[in-house]
Amino acid sequence: MRRVFCIILITFAFIKANCQSSPPNLPEFDEKLYHFGVSFGYSSLYSDMVSKVSLPFNDTIMGFYSKNSPGFTVGLSVALRLTSFLQLRFTPTLLLSERNIVYDVIYKGKYIERSNPLEVTYLEAPLEFKLQSKRWHNFRPYLLGGAKYVYDMASRKRKKLKPEEYLMKLENKEFMYTLGAGFDFYKMCKICIELKTSFGLSDILDHSFNNAYTDCLDKIKTQVFYINITFE
């Protein structure tokens, strides 16, 4: 929340400075049919875990939770102008992070925490609609929403591990939907700063891998929060 608040303050300071300049920068930039860009960003990955109603190992597994794991994203952006206020964007992105799930366990009569951080290398293929407001000098806010296909390339490394080296197996393919908002700034190029969250639609837990850590879970879904900057 501190990061988001700082971004909002910087954004409004930037808006005020831009509104004092005249004439507007890049006045016909949005009239082009296509736009290409590159993006960089911060991500925070979280696993939404749902337990079974009846825990088969309630004398061993006392509870579990997921830690937010910071990450980094880099990608490309291709935007197609549909109308004056609507764009269709394709933004293939590489996300580097980890999935950190912690179990509260009773082991040999003692209470311990056991975790097995899993490397995450997501190759994302999002298709998003960008709904823009009317441009205000060098500033233009927007909303976005869409869906994406995600493939975890780090799953190949996990397949080489021995069964005792990990607590669970996860699927390497996932579908998500995305909601967010952002601002366009017009300087020497167009700079897009956006906040968005992606929510997994499918259960990624491999239920064929049976142990105490898997059998107490009904499903696992992924949530990812992004702060992205795109240069077009």
In DSSP terms, 76 is beta-bridged to 38
| Residue indicated by tokens 């910087």 | 10
Q: Are 143 and 180 in contact (CB under 8 A)?
A: yes
- Which stretches within the chain are classed as H helix? 2-19, 155-158, 212-215
Q: Would you state the pLDDT for residue 78?
A: 95
Condensed to tens digits (0 to 9), the pLDDT of residues 171-227 reads 889 999 999 999 999 988 999 999 999 999 999 998 888 777 888 888 999 999 999
Confidence of residue 155 (pLDDT cuts 50, 70, 90): confident
Instruction: Go through the domains of the chain in sequence order and give each one's CATH number.
Output: 34-231 (2.40.160.20)
pTM of the model: 0.83
Distance of CA 202 to the CA centre of its chain: 15
Residues in the chain: 232
Say how far apart CA 218 and CA 53 lie, in whole Å. 8
Condensed to tens digits (0 to 9), the pLDDT of residues 10-42 reads 555 555 555 555 678 887 888 899 999 999 999
44 vs 8 pLDDT, higher one:
44
Q: Are 153 and 36 in contact (CB under 8 A)?
A: no
Q: Would you state the pLDDT for residue 121?
A: 94
